[in-house]
Amino acid sequence: MKVYEALNWASSFLKKNDRDENAGELLLRHHMKLDRAQLFSRMQEMMPMEMQSSFIFNVHKHVAGIPVQYLMGKEEFYGRSFFVSEEVLIPRPETEELVVGVLDRVKKHFGYGAVSDAAGEKLSVVDVGTGSGAIAITLALENSSLNVHATDIAGESLEVAMDNAEALGAEVAFLQGDLLLPFIEQDIKVDVVVSNPPYIPQKEYEGLSTVVKDFEPYRALVGGISGLEFYERFMDELPKVLKERAIVAFEVGMGQGEDVKALLEKTFPQSTVEVVLDINGKDRMVFALIG
């Protein structure tokens, strides 16, 4: 089978089975270890039989529901390649917007450059529920003056995150624990808390695509009956770890922006809280500037 024949077969087979036909190109590039331009320059070449077999096998796996990112073992985020496995949520493009929002507000809220707090110490940032480490690692690499920590309740997720930090050369301190408890227990105060917590309501979970529901970790998806469980828990814990001048940044589910804003305004009455839409016009981020 020639390369173009393999691509045409995959696109047709995926479309017939209601999967994104673009996954065929992604898997083909992965198996051939080529970028897009290289792939299209080699369309007339014959594929080695072993490579062809493994490619076809993975296309069938994707049709069965396994996300293409898990089949490739990686996903792009903020221009970098991150390892992913079924122990972590696959990073989404919308979360890149959360990172941009944090970086921008750090400069504005703490002063241009934002290299230190009022005491002259490096600004401390905590990514809660880090998963693959995409948020924490990106923040550390985009602003090397930040002192970045990341927590996750699952040791398996932290292993993936630590592998990503090592591969990308990011200085991030990882702690295992439930939400902000590792910091509360050690009486550590921080400047910025950012999180993309589980926010899908239980009733909506059953209606998710099998590609998401059957393969991505439940613990990273569902935020209780209302979807707001983790944000409500944060309201008890945030006052115990935040410094007087601080930033809170959350990713939220569609339609949750105003509810999360109300929670933050009640917890921090003197704060400025903003709901920000994503590139698709959906409420996706909530930022609180405190102090």
Q: Is the pLDDT of residue 114 over 60?
A: no
pLDDT of residue 290: 96
Annotated binding site for S-adenosyl-L-methionine: 129-133, 152, 196
Which pLDDT band holds residue 113 (cuts at 50, 70, 90)?
A: low
> Token pair of 290, please?
């405190």
Residues 120-143 have a mean pLDDT of 93
Q: What is the DSSP letter of 107?
A: H
Nearest to 243 by CA among 178, 191, 182: 191
Annotated binding site for substrate: 196-199
Amino acid code (one letter) for 104: D
Strand pairing class (172-176; 80-83): unpaired
* Extents of the domains making up the chain: 3-64, 86-290
d(CA 284, CA 254): 6
Q: Is the pLDDT of residue 205 over 70?
A: no
d(CA 202, CA 55): 35
Look at 12-21, 27-36, 222-231 and tell me which has the smallest mean pLDDT: 222-231
For the chain, the average pLDDT equals: 91
pTM, two decimals, is 0.88
DSSP string, 84-97: --TTSPPP-HHHHH
pLDDT of residue 201: 76
Annotated binding site: 129-133, 152, 196-199
Residues 112-135 have a mean pLDDT of 80
Q: Is the pLDDT of residue 216 over 90?
A: no
Q: Is the pLDDT of residue 78 over 70?
A: yes
pLDDT over 70, % of the chain: 91
Residues 233-245 have a mean pLDDT of 96
Class of domain 86-290: alpha beta
Nearest to 132 by CA among 152, 98, 161, 99: 161
pLDDT of residue 198: 81
Distances (CA, A) of 284 to 166, 220, 240, 251, 257: 30, 17, 26, 6, 7
